[in-house]
Structure 1
Amino acid sequence: MASLERTAYPKLPAHLSTKELHQCYSLSEFELEWLSRTAKSPALTIGLAVLLKTFQQLHYFPSLEEIPTEIVNHVRSCLRYGVRIAPRYANPRTLYRHQTAIRQYLQITPFYGSDALKIAEKTAHEAAEVLDQRVDVINVLIGELLERGYELPAYSTLNDAAEDAQVALQEKIFNRVVDRAPIDVIYRLRELLDTDFGRCQSDFNALKQVPKKPSRKHLEILIDHLSWLGGFGDLDAIFEGIVDTKIWFFANQAEKTDVSELKDCSLPKRYTLMLALIYLMRVRARDHLAEMFIKRIATIHKRAKEELEQIQLRQRKKLELLVATLDGVIQILSQEPSDQEAGSLIREYLSPEGSLDHLREACAEVQATGGSNYLPLLWKHFKSHRSLLFRLSLLLQLEPTTQDRSLIEALHLVQANEILHREWIDEHVDLAFASDRWIKVVRRAASEGPPTNRRFLEVCVFSHLANELRSGDICVLGSESFADYRKQLLPWDECLARLPEYCAKVGLPSTAKEFVASLKEQLESTAQQLDDKFPSCRGDVSINEAGDPVLRRVVARDIPPSAISLQTAITQRMPARHVLDIMANIEHWIQFTRHFGPMSGSDPKLKEPAERYLMTIFAMGCNLGPNQAARHLAGNVTPHMLSYTNRRHLPLDKLDKANRELVELYLQLDLPKLWGDGKAVAADGTQFDFYDENLLAGYHFRYRKMGAVAYRHVANNYIAVFQHFIPPGIWEAIYVIEGLLKADHSVEVDTVYSDTQGQSATVFAFTHLLGINLMPRIRNWRNLVMYRPDRSAKYKHINSLFTDTVNWSQIETHWQDLMQVALSIQAGKISSPMLLRKLGSYSRRNKLYHAAQELGCVIRTIFLLKWIGNRELRQEVTANTNKIESYNGFSKWLSFGGDVIAENDPDEQQKRLRYNDMIASSVILQNTVDMMRILQKLARDGWQFTDEDVSFLSPYLTSNVKRFGEFNLSLKRPPEPWIKDSIFQQAAGSIRGQTMPNNRVEETN
């Protein structure tokens, strides 16, 4: 049966506050009048009233024994009856009559004896077509029955209807897939599950292999893997007509399943799960190959640049010699007034041996390597990858996302000439996609022979393929991350229907002209305000001789002595707690482990599942791992138990749900409201050490070591609302929007603070379109281009700040495209990191990229003008970005099991970050509750403090947390017996007698 706690099926709470009792269980005047007409005695009246109020909350009738006493007492007080009067029904017919009366009063149709069962079965079958979890189907049933005005049946009835619908649909899908699969594919699937005497694992485990670091060897392995996956037939035809969510569900189920469990399934189910897994792994392999391809091309270019630098270092002596030669020529010319005589002396000076060839060769070498053109050096590093890259280009189906096919046609040409050995070919290639520097390397004059250099054409084509895959101008068919994002956008007709409501919500004009006019007026007014107030800002800002603004360093708020005293008093009174005890407290409060369980959605078949889940979270979140945690946890805990629970019962999406519940509980507390309203977050990344055999890990240029970046959003009241591991080298700002959309909390965020990595022109554009106020602390912001509203705009004090003018027509022309993207992101139709990553990469063909850049530069200019003229704004941004720095240190303090994330599986890597933040949120929540209790006691004891004093507090307290548990030493316990060997007894006696034995322990053997 599906877990009732994970559904929306209503049930009576164990405890109710006074506020909840008054809101939900008080009787209105109309209800009191109806009760007086319907019931005939006080006992029946109170029984009828209790049934009425509980039915209004539950939509079904509970037994009187299940109803909490406080509800009965509250209803009794509303009726003004004495405590001796209790609800009771001596005659069952009276109870039935009262239930019928309540249904008629509320206009509710009973479930049994009506068409409700047929409606429920039909709804369940429709919901099962698109939903995977049984609890989700049950929730749809509950919503449909309530909307139609039906009484809810017993939970088992809903569970049975959902189960029957899912079983029927899955059997239908399983049989359809197996019927479509060719017999040779079925035979290959059967072979995947076989093992022989020499192998411990079947080939089924090879399906699940994860990509390693993007080296040439691993690129070749992944190409072979995708080729092998391609041998299982046309899976698109096999899964035709089946929604993608079902395929992903079956694939994820197969990924978490062992071979022995697969063999226990029916044949249709077994082969469907395996084919779905192959389908998913093909998609992932294409994504990983495209990612590896981009990184390998980047590495080839990097090595060519490094070689050019080395050559330039070696050529320095020749360059110095040529400069000295030139200096000698200048001296001859300055000393000899006769041109004829000077020419004779120069010739003798330059060619004492009669030849200028060595000098000309030196000049040619310096000219060839004197600039920054490293392109001629690429072939040397490219040729070792050549065969692999050609295989990859033939394996991946690459298509342009625009009408320009020049790059794809050039790719087809180099593929056709792959086996040629001659360097120059007689082909005229359209190089519209290439830069002038590339054209000079690839082409030569027709008079010199065949016009196209085949080698450099190959390097040029593959280099531009990598660039355009990154920018989205080239897509990979059958991929996910590198698919054509334009096809994932909402249709404009649907956007038009959403546009008025959306624009009203985020405060944007709903037409292109009004949008541009509003933006222009905002830029003009912000610039004029700064120009007007600039003389009064002389203490904080000035403009130097170069025309650059110089800002005074931001000074933090002074902490009053009363706040310091309060902090000390609270720290001294904080109760010491173990991490597991803290998590147990949180579990008692909200039962957040109810979100976890097997993929089927059924109740977990584990012994004491809540305890198992908490121990797993502790083991993974503190980075102990299953082995070390099992050695130190009390009870019969094995590494396999923790590892199995992690793999089978705690998937990424369920961890996110549990984390959201912890955050929601925190947001309901009063103390965090004094720290912040939760409507603003700070976004920043921090480095984690990783194993390097995966695509996520890389060398971070800021931290100067291998690892990955944990990117988080931390609210202004100190709680983390979003977390995600991203590879180093990716501009962190592309996850700014994703964190806000995926947080999904009751408090809607409208402001984001960040550092330099948290902003870009594209991100400024789309945060503005999504109604988000981006406020970054930008390093070297003086180097950014600031835009004046138009050419005629002149300013008295700040005119030198502006170096460019806004192209308003470009923004107005592409306003529809920009709004279509924003609405698609807001609707969840497209991943914002994927889109921003593409629109943040330079593209010569993507007009949307240029429009987003133009809009983003305008929004960033407005922000920088406010930044320059507002010291309070700078203090606010600095204070909030400091909070996330504190959180990063706090969460790492709780990851005491080790410095390295010892996982190469992408899903497990992301789960480790969720585990760590779940423990951090639990400690923050417990610390906040303890602080609130202490503050209440201090107030009762007469301690004087203000809200401002409390605002300086922080829940990132660690002195009260016992990370490593508690170690007990007791010499009173019965000692273990000593060994009976006479030599050891003699040694023990010698030690007690303060004399050392002559023989060593190893000699006793």
Structure 2
Amino acid sequence: MTTEESDLLYKKTLHGRLGFVVLLKFFQNEGHFPEHCREIPEAVLGYLANQIGVSGDNLSQYEFTGRTGKRDQTEILSFLGIRRANKNDKSEFAKALLTAMLPSDPTFNALQDYAIHWFRNRYIEPPGSARLERLIRSTTHTFETDLFNRIAKDLNPNTKKLLDGLLNVAEDNADGSSALSNPFSSVSWLKDDTGKVGLDRILQAVEKINYLRDLSIPGELLASLPAKWLQKYYRRASTESAWELRRHPDVICYALVAVFCWQRQMEITDNLIDLLIQVVHNVGKCVENKIDKKLLEDLKLVHGKTGLLFKLAEVAVEQPEGIIKDVLYPKVSLETLKNLVKEYKSSGKAYQEEVHQVVWRSYGNHYRRMIVPLLDTLEFRSNNSKHTPVLDAVNHLKSNREYRGQYFTDIDDIPVVGVVKFKRFDTVIEQDKDGDDRINRINYEIEVLQALRERLRSKEIWVVGACRYRNPDEDLPGDFSSNSDAYYEALNLPKNPEDLIEKLKTALEKALKHTNKEIPKNPWVKIIPTGKNRIRITPQEPQAEPENLAGLKAEIFNRWPATGLLDVLKEADLRVNFTQLFQSSRQRETLDQNTIQKRLLLSLFALGTNAGLKRIAASGDEASYKELLHIRHSFLEKNTLREAIAQVANATLAVRLPQIWGEGTTSCASDSTKIGAWDQNLMTEWHVRYGGRGVMIYWHVEAQSVCIYSQLKRCSSSEVASMIEGVLRHKADIDIQKSYTDTHGQSEVGFAFCHLLGFNLMPRLKGVASQKSTCRKKAAVLVTPILIPY
């Protein structure tokens, strides 16, 4: 305490002194006054009591909300130069809240913190906790009401009429019993997304998206509104039946359904693009797998083919007039010659031609029926003129969808260069009996679809009305063109690409010289002068188990011999209070916070352990299945769940003792795990290495085994992108400088992006002997393997 602050304690009683000091210091640190002594940590209370020479027990006699407390608060505010908040202050705060905070849909705790800082910076005492809560909730309600009015006002009468028709289809009764009379053009029909990938599912999705487009939802208006609020309303409308939506006032009802239809249209568009990419992939891959299986059953490798050829040539020269079965078969048997023919057909050009023929038949008879409606529904665009030929080729396929001829004879207007790969020209462009060029229609369509698939996956071509496959320019910050210097400075990168390339060349040259100098001194690495794999790494012995590890395990088991996962989850929430992050997607919630907390923990436990809500509900009388389902639909959301995981991870990092766990780490490791999934999931794929159908969970774990990020991915998708995403998007309180991964999580492009983003990629290369470090004339590729054993 300062001298001026100590002078304020004159003529105060012992318990009055302690209460005054607690009020003063609490306000200076927190920006508001406490309402009860329970808000004061015991350590802080003991420290303040010791400073003024009184006992901490005296605080129990002090009334924080009594006359003495209010008089002391007035004296403290006068001493600090802070005035009480008036009506104008609250109005200005509400305006600031509407413009600065609410568009990002923050948590209620974040809004409270913002309020306290807002009033503190203006030397104004914030309202009490109850009044502040009412002010924040009132302002939030005003913000939502304005959003609903803006959306509903922009809907034309015809759109409202169609939305009424969408909601008036009988779906269910108030008691939840089914009363569905017509499954089409209803909310449940739009929500449904089940079934395997096939023609019926594609046609159903096309029908849905055409129906949603006919609604004429004002997309420009919705795109300008806060994205988080729209996601919240989409979740809310997705979990409510038509009967529940009709119960809302007209403004809220129209706004919710409009947001749902607009978001659902983008979601179905993304699904259609996924289906297109998957179907085009299946056109070639399924055929290759079928032929490979057949060839593996019949194939018998023939060894010593050079010697066999010499024997055949020698006999043919000596007896040119002889009969084959009498001259050649004694030297080389008929069975051996048959195996030679099979081996030839299973490799090289013969194999490719057989694959192409089967693809041709499969596409023409089956897959083309799926492709045509997809191309008619999706509108493709590109920001790069280099990909214009592919767009022209797609438009050509659309305009000739009804053509059934085998060849296109008028080839001058058909784009080929930039669409068909050079090695496939012979299969696409053929010659007729007169020597004139013509295009094989089916072969050309297959090549166009393959080119379209490659460019869709890299977003070189994007789709109008999509979300994940939208215009890549929309992924940039809105002010990037006007504020690009600040963004380049934040990344610590030069705007001139030549400067960057020169810097990379210098760094690579230095790294290569260092590697060349140090490798001969490394006892674990040997360079073999001959052979294909010239780098040999000696495996290290595994580290010995720490001496105290067994004792630590035994002590933990003695203290908590039968602790359940649900108890651990509950204890973590009592310490961290992560359930406060989950907010209802509805405008108001009648359940009290304790009930919400209990049901949230039960729902998280049911989903996290895969036990299911029904089984958890049946295990006791804490909550019914319907009650847990309400929590699941109204509160649980992916982004909020990520924030809760990050909060638990940060709390774990904060309580670590450095003398045991060491100082904070700046590295993490990442890898994936295969998990089985139903075929109805669009992301389900067959895993070529592990076998079986499923999806992959990609984990990021810091050096002391705390998972800081996880994500869902396809079995065939690149792990490089997942590795980079986890490093960038995790919210743990660690600054990752090194990312360790396996061979699948690295590539030349991955090294380049990691370098530009400011962290080092440290892969455990499986085939380290075949890796190369290259320095090109105009660009440098930072692929210097770390030659140490793992």
TM (normalized to structure 2)?
0.85
Structure with bigger RCO (C-alpha 8 Å, 6+ apart): 1
Matched, 1:124 2:97: yes
Give the gaps of 5 or more residues in structure 2: 172-177, 329-340
From 20, 24, 31, the equivalent of 1:48 is: 20
Q: Which residue of 1 aligns with 2:175?
A: none
Q: Any conservation in 2 of the 1:598–1:604 contact (CA below 8 Å)? A: no
From 188, 195, 200, the equivalent of 2:170 is: 195
Separation in 1, partners of 2:24, 2:556: 49
Compared CA separation, residues 409 and 29, structure 1 to 2 (3 A)? same
Deviations 1:587-645 (A, max 9, x none): 3323332223422485660573322222222222221112222333x335433233332
Q: Which residue of 2 aligns with 1:380?
A: 361
The alpha carbon displacement at 1:521 in A equals 3.4
Q: Which residue of 1 aligns with 2:379?
A: 397
| Structure 2 residue identity aligned to 1:605 | L
Separation in 2, partners of 1:438, 1:477: 30
Q: Which residue of 2 aligns with 1:535?
A: 520
Q: Which residue of 1 aligns with 2:85?
A: 111
Give the gaps of 5 or more residues in structure 1: 1-26, 337-341, 351-361, 788-804, 811-854, 879-1005
The alpha carbon displacement at 1:451 in A equals 2.2
Compared CA separation, residues 343 and 485, structure 1 to 2 (3 A)? farther
Q: Any conservation in 1 of the 2:154–2:218 contact (CA below 8 Å)? A: no
Q: How many residues align?
A: 749
| Structure 1 residue identity aligned to 2:652 | Y
Q: Which residue of 2 aligns with 1:759?
A: 746
From 638, 661, 668, the equivalent of 2:647 is: 661
Q: Any conservation in 2 of the 1:134–1:163 contact (CA below 8 Å)? A: no
Q: Which residue of 1 aligns with 2:76?
A: 102
Separation in 2, partners of 1:473, 1:663: 37
From 806, 811, 822, the equivalent of 2:776 is: 806
From 503, 507, 513, the equivalent of 1:522 is: 507
Separation in 2, partners of 1:621, 1:315: 47
Separation in 2, partners of 1:388, 1:570: 62
Q: Any conservation in 1 of the 2:491–2:758 contact (CA below 8 Å)? A: no
Separation in 2, partners of 1:492, 1:176: 29
Separation in 1, partners of 2:18, 2:296: 96
Q: Which residue of 2 aligns with 1:566?
A: 551
Separation in 2, partners of 1:368, 1:68: 79
Q: Any conservation in 2 of the 1:287–1:482 contact (CA below 8 Å)? A: yes
Q: Any conservation in 2 of the 1:723–1:739 contact (CA below 8 Å)? A: yes
Separation in 1, partners of 2:680, 2:57: 73
The alpha carbon displacement at 1:729 in A equals 0.7
The alpha carbon displacement at 1:512 in A equals 4.7
Matches within 5 A, 1:482-561: 482-490=469-477, 491-503=480-492, 512=497, 515-537=500-522, 540-546=525-531, 548-559=533-544
Q: Any conservation in 2 of the 1:174–1:269 contact (CA below 8 Å)? A: yes
Matches within 5 A, 1:436-515: 436-445=422-431, 447-449=434-436, 451-490=438-477, 491-503=480-492, 512=497, 515=500
The alpha carbon displacement at 1:529 in A equals 2.9
Separation in 2, partners of 1:82, 1:589: 29
Separation in 1, partners of 2:96, 2:585: 22
Separation in 2, partners of 1:385, 1:107: 77
Compared CA separation, residues 419 and 670, structure 1 to 2 (3 A)? closer
Separation in 2, partners of 1:304, 1:51: 77
Deviations 1:140-159 (A, max 9, x none): 44443333332211234333
The alpha carbon displacement at 1:406 in A equals 0.9
Paired residue secondary structure (2:277): helix
Separation in 2, partners of 1:462, 1:149: 65
Q: Any conservation in 2 of the 1:128–1:165 contact (CA below 8 Å)? A: no
The alpha carbon displacement at 1:122 in A equals 1.5
From 546, 566, 574, the equivalent of 1:580 is: 566
Matches within 5 A, 1:171-320: 171-193=145-167, 194-195=169-170, 199=180, 203-210=186-193, 212-236=195-219, 239=222, 241-306=224-289, 309=292
Matches within 5 A, 1:932-951: none
Separation in 2, partners of 1:109, 1:859: 60
Compared CA separation, residues 560 and 69, structure 1 to 2 (3 A)? closer
Q: Any conservation in 2 of the 1:128–1:166 contact (CA below 8 Å)? A: no
Compared CA separation, residues 729 and 445, structure 1 to 2 (3 A)? same
Paired residue secondary structure (1:686): strand
The alpha carbon displacement at 1:284 in A equals 0.8
Separation in 2, partners of 1:742, 1:130: 21
Matches within 5 A, 1:733-812: 733-787=720-774, 805-807=775-777, 809-810=778-779
Separation in 2, partners of 1:673, 1:231: 66
The alpha carbon displacement at 1:460 in A equals 1.8
| Structure 1 residue identity aligned to 2:744 | Q
Separation in 1, partners of 2:546, 2:437: 83
Moved more, 751-760 or 102-111: 102-111
The alpha carbon displacement at 1:369 in A equals 5.9
Paired residue secondary structure (1:372): helix
Separation in 2, partners of 1:716, 1:708: 26
Separation in 2, partners of 1:324, 1:860: 43
Deviations 1:268-308 (A, max 9, x none): 21121111111111111111111111111111011343465
Q: Any conservation in 1 of the 2:152–2:254 contact (CA below 8 Å)? A: yes
Q: Which residue of 2 aligns with 1:703?
A: 690
Paired residue secondary structure (1:166): helix
Compared CA separation, residues 328 and 781, structure 1 to 2 (3 A)? closer
Compared CA separation, residues 669 and 552, structure 1 to 2 (3 A)? same
Separation in 2, partners of 1:163, 1:82: 40
Q: Which residue of 2 aligns with 1:435?
A: 421
The alpha carbon displacement at 1:477 in A equals 1.2
Aligned residues: percent identity? Answer: 19
Separation in 1, partners of 2:524, 2:100: 65
Compared CA separation, residues 265 and 138, structure 1 to 2 (3 A)? farther
The alpha carbon displacement at 1:181 in A equals 2.5
| Structure 2 residue identity aligned to 1:195 | A
Q: Any conservation in 2 of the 1:76–1:82 contact (CA below 8 Å)? A: yes
Moved more, 519-528 or 714-723: 519-528
Paired residue secondary structure (2:705): coil
Q: Any conservation in 2 of the 1:303–1:381 contact (CA below 8 Å)? A: no
Q: Any conservation in 1 of the 2:491–2:757 contact (CA below 8 Å)? A: no
Q: Any conservation in 2 of the 1:134–1:166 contact (CA below 8 Å)? A: no
From 766, 783, 787, the equivalent of 1:860 is: 783
The alpha carbon displacement at 1:51 in A equals 2.0
Compared CA separation, residues 668 and 85, structure 1 to 2 (3 A)? closer
TM (normalized to structure 1)?
0.68
Q: Any conservation in 1 of the 2:23–2:33 contact (CA below 8 Å)? A: yes
Separation in 1, partners of 2:623, 2:71: 54
Q: Which residue of 2 aligns with 1:353?
A: none
